[in-house]
Structure 1
Amino acid sequence: EQHTVTIDSRKDFYDFFTPQNAERPEIHGGFALAHWNGKTDVEAKIKEDLGVTIRCIPLDGEAEAGRCIITGEPSARRVVFAKSY
């Protein structure tokens, strides 16, 4: 759990997964719990921009209404995002 953060905004999400030094990107191996609207085009955009993919959609957990961090559309729960290194 120490490598998992809860993220509620697009800016924080992009900041979390964008290396500080593009020439020598650091590897932090973290996971982000964030709301997603369930649309594959949004998932593809995140992968294209950051190389980040959904790792888990916790269906047995409690629903938590919120807003997709990319589109602002309603979301029923958070999903787990991570980057493969």
Structure 2
Amino acid sequence: MLRTYEGILEGNRVRWAGEKVPDTDRPLRVHVTVLEEETEKGTQGQQMADALAKLAESSAFSTVDDPSAWQREVRHDRPLPGRDR
């Protein structure tokens, strides 16, 4: 039967919390699962939509006449064979 022990990872050491870990002089095999905070799926999408809306309101790219040419210039694209004629 596997037992689960709660702990806090501090650098390269685990500080055990909750139920007491058996006191032993031999190495103790453990399984550690790191639980990361999950972001709400709707929140991240809404943040991106808000940022894009602010960018559109600012007219940041209103001086760009040819978006494709501007992108090639900014990215310093090399001409692709058979595409830039």
Normalising by structure 1, report the TM-score.
Answer: 0.19
Q: Which has the higher strand share?
A: 1
Who wins on radius of gyration, i.e. which is larger?
2
TM-score of the superposed pair, with normalisation by structure 2: 0.19
